[in-house]
Amino acid sequence: MRFLDQTKLPAREEIVETSDYRIIAEAIKRLAIRGAPLIGIAAAYGVALAAFHCAEQNAKRINDCLEKVIATLAGTRPTAVNLFWALERQRAVVSRVGADSLPILRQSLVDEAIAIHREDAEMCEAIGKHGSEILPHAATILTHCNAGALATGGIGTALGVIRMAWEMKKLKHVYVDETRPLLQGSRLTAWELQQLDIPYTLLPDNAAAFLMQRGLVSAVVVGADRVAHNGDVANKVGTYGLAIAARHHRIPFYVAAPVSTIDFAITRGSEIPIEQRRSEELTEFNGVSVAPPGVEVYSPAFDVTPHDLITAMITNASVVWNPNAESMAVLKSKLAQASTGR
């Protein structure tokens, strides 16, 4: 597997090549591989790679070996549900195909990882199409974190919408939150927009409300790490504050996410596990201390935006206006019907 180490961007485009699933697990943990859909895709490839290293002789031992691999990958980051969704798909392959023939199992796991990757690219396209259709003309969009090609298997979710709106000549400008403390906005989203030649401006996170007050934002579009059944959304910390500011200024607030990011098993956002980050990410800057020694730190990687602050959820299946338990249940039954072919 080859992946771009996102911690090195924008200074260096460093490709890591590995056949060791532990390198992938570690890359997810340190955010070299990041963004909800990409984490799921990488984990699926990780399970497939591990199957080539399981040298165990009997089916039970192979199953145990892969269960250990799945547990390691599942322990990397807690919030993005795509990780658990993709691992569950690989677990289902193991139980469906069985481990009597290792070559067949290996090929089936590779095929499933490729399918997850390809489906994600297709979902990004559909999200881009749905989202760009509902944006106003000459849109000025504010986005947070990175929900682009770097975070997915395709053109991105929030950035997929932005990219298609640009191609449709509906987009005027993008405002990019720097996204403290790990700077996914300035390091990654700005890098992607620059490559796409889309006009953008970088701003400190705490300038976003002022930008809205000045009338410079016509819509906010962000991605998601996990969506609860009632439409509450966990996304990069700072998203909730943007949603409150957008509501105050009567600006539409859109969440773009594939259906693989929806966790229908979770009733409301308060049940979503939120990752806490290491204190050094706040107390140090480039290895230099920027806070008194021993300071107590609170650093959640994500926050939860209540569904009533969300104008619409832009999914690959459809746009869910005013997401709530009822409208999300309609989406759920639509998905169930599609999967049974009815």
Catalytic residues: 225
Radius of gyration of the chain (CA): 20
Question: What residue type is 199 in one-letter code?
Answer: P
157 vs 230 by CB, closer to ligand MRU: 157
Site for ligand MRU in 127-146 (CB under 6 A): 145
| DSSP characters over 77-122 | -SS-HHHHHHHHHHHHHHHHH-SSSHHHHHHHHHHHHHHHHHHHHH
Q: Is 109 in the site for ligand MRU (CB under 6 A)?
A: no
Q: Does 81 bind ligand MRU (CB under 6 A)?
A: no
Cβ contacts of 321 within 8 Å, gap of 6 or more: 311, 312, 327
Task: Pick out residues in 156-215 that bind ligand MRU (CB under 6 A).
Answer: 157, 184
Q: Which is closer to ligand MRU, CB of 145 or CB of 331? A: 145
d(CA 225, CA 259): 11
CB-nearer residue toward ligand MRU: 37 or 231: 37
Q: How far is the CB of 107 from ligand MRU (least distance, A)?
A: 29
Interaction between residue 35 and ligand MRU (CB under 6 A): yes
Number of residues near ligand MRU (by CB under 6 A): 18
CB of 63 to ligand MRU, least distance (A): 30
Q: How far is the CB of 236 from ligand MRU (least distance, A)?
A: 3
**Using rule CB under 6 A, residue 259 touches ligand MRU:** no
Which range in 34-42, 86-94, 98-106, 308-316 contacts ligand MRU by CB under 6 A? 34-42
Q: Using CB under 6 A, which of 154, 181, 223, 231 touches ligand MRU? A: 223
Buried/exposed 236-264: b ≥16 CB within 10 Å, e otherwise: bbbbbbbbebbeeeebbbbbbbbbbbbbb
Taking CB atoms, the residue at the shortest distance from ligand MRU is 223
Strands, E, within 150-270: which ranges?
Answer: 171-177, 200-203, 219-222, 226-228, 233-236, 253-256, 262-263
* Identity of the residue numbered 194: Q
The vertex-103 CA angle with 101 and 105, nearest 5°, equals: 70
Q: Does residue 43 touch ligand MRU according to CB under 6 A?
A: no
- For ligand MRU, the binding residue among 24, 25, 34, 266 (CB under 6 A) is 34
Tokens of 118: 């390809």
25 Cα distance to chain centroid: 16
Q: Residues in the site for ligand MRU, rule: CB under 6 A?
A: 31, 34-37, 80, 145, 147, 151-152, 157, 184, 223-225, 235-236, 301
